[in-house]
């Protein structure tokens, strides 16, 4: 079981709920993936009070834990307001904190992120900050009260997979006791397996499943990849070698040359 802030979760895959062909396909994908946490954005659906209520009740009906997010927020104030709204709507203190700094790359504004994290942690939230792989920013987020970090491995929705393995390794190495969830940039199940093999605690993804030709099968594939990657990490993988090492001994065999 994956212990995330005291909550025991059967799956290490967290799934976003945006961009699916329909809520029915989303529900099937959630089930196929085996995920136990879904994220949901509130920002745009908020227009006009609780006008997004119908969709939110479909999300509640998925029966998973809900991690609301502040996707689309570009300032500390917006993010804090959205987080408070999310706490009311979903009755949870968990919040995936996004403060976007660049509209085009969706890169986090790490300065605003740290500030918003501090405000929300002081207010009793469990903040899951969407951040870069920068170690200093990660330190600041932990100082602000975050108990978990969500580094990107590539820009949101890019499907590039881990573009800087060294940075991810070093992050894992620096924060051995902090739950690290790779959020954003995963495109294929092998990407998810790769970061899980590096020892990350979980992955969060959305577009790679939602925009697949068959989101339900892709969700299942990601579920398996995350499980495989985690199991490989726990099983002690061989380090690469420069020479061939035969799996059966050659000594004692007849030599014909």
Partner 1 sequence: MKVLVKGAGVAGLTAAFELAARGATVTVAEIRYGLGGNASWFAGGMLAPWCERESAEQLVLDLGRDAADWWDTVTPGQATRAGTLVVAAPRDAGELDRFASRTSGHRRVDEDEIALLEPDLAGRFRRGLLFPDEAHLDPRQAMAALHDKLAAMGVEFRFGADAQHISGFDRQIDCTGMAAEDCGLRGVRGEMLILRMPDISLSRPVRLLHPRLPLYVVPRTDHRFMVGATMIESQSTGPVTARSMMELLGAAYALHPAFSEAGIIETGAGVRPAFSDNLPRVEARGTTVAINGLYRHGFLLAPAMARQAADLAFNQDETKEVA
213 binds partner 1 (CB under 8 A): yes
Q: Which of 96, 147, 211, 224 is catalytic?
A: 96
Q: Which of 2, 31, 58, 85 binds partner 1 (CB under 8 A)?
A: 58
> Minimum CB separation from partner 1 for residue 223, in Å?
22
77 binds partner 1 (CB under 8 A): no
51 binds partner 1 (CB under 8 A): yes
Contact code string over 26-45 relative to partner 1, x by CB under 8 A: -x----------------xx
Q: Would you list the DSSP string of the chain? A: -EEETTEEES-SEEEE-SS-S-HHHHHHHHHHHT-SEEEEE-TGGGSSSSTTHHHHHHHHTT-SEEEEE-TT--SHHHHHHHHHHHHHHHT-SEEEE--BS-TTT--B-HHHHHHHHHHHHHTT-EEEEEE-S-HHHHHHHHHTT-S-BEE-SSSTT-----S-HHHHHHHHHH-TTS-BEEES---SHHHHHHHHHTT-SEEEESHHHHTSSSHHHHHHHHHHHHHHHHHHHHH-PPPP-SS---SS--TTS----
> Minimum CB separation from partner 1 for residue 40, in Å?
9
Catalytic, 96? Answer yes
Active site residues per annotation = 96
Binding residues for 1-deoxy-D-xylulose 5-phosphate: 157, 184-185, 206-207
**Residues that bind partner 1 in the complex, under the rule CB under 8 A:** 21-25, 27, 44-48, 51-55, 58, 157, 211, 213
Binding residues: 157, 184-185, 206-207
């Amino acid at each position: 079981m994956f212990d995330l802030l005291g909550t025991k979760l059967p799956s290490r895959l967290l799934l976003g709920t945006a961009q699916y062909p329909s809520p029915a396909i989303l529900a099937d994908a959630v089930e196929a993936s085996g995920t136990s946490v879904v994220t949901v954005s509130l920002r745009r659906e908020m227009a006009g009070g609780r006008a997004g209520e119908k969709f939110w009740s479909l999300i509640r009906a998925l029966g998973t834990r809900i991690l609301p997010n502040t996707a689309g927020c570009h300032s500390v104030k917006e993010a804090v307001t959205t987080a408070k709204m999310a706490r009311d709507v979903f009755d949870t203190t968990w919040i995936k904190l996004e403060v976007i700094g660049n509209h085009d790359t969706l890169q986090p504004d790490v300065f605003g992120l740290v500030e918003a994290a501090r405000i929300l942690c002081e207010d009793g939230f469990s903040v899951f900050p969407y951040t870069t792989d920068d170690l200093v920013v990660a330190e600041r987020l932990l100082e602000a009260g975050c108990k978990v970090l969500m580094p990107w491995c590539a820009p949101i929705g890019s499907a590039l997979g881990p573009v800087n393995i060294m940075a991810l390794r070093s992050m894992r190495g620096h924060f051995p006791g902090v739950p690290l969830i790779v959020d954003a940039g995963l495109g294929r199940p092998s990407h998810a397996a790769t970061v899980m093999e590096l020892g990350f605690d979980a992955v969060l993804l959305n577009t790679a499943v939602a925009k697949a030709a068959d989101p339900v099968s892709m969700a299942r594939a990601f579920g398996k990849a995350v499980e495989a990657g985690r199991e490989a990490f726990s099983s002690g993988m061989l380090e690469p070698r420069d020479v061939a090492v035969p799996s059966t001994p050659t000594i004692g065999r007849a030599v014909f040359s």
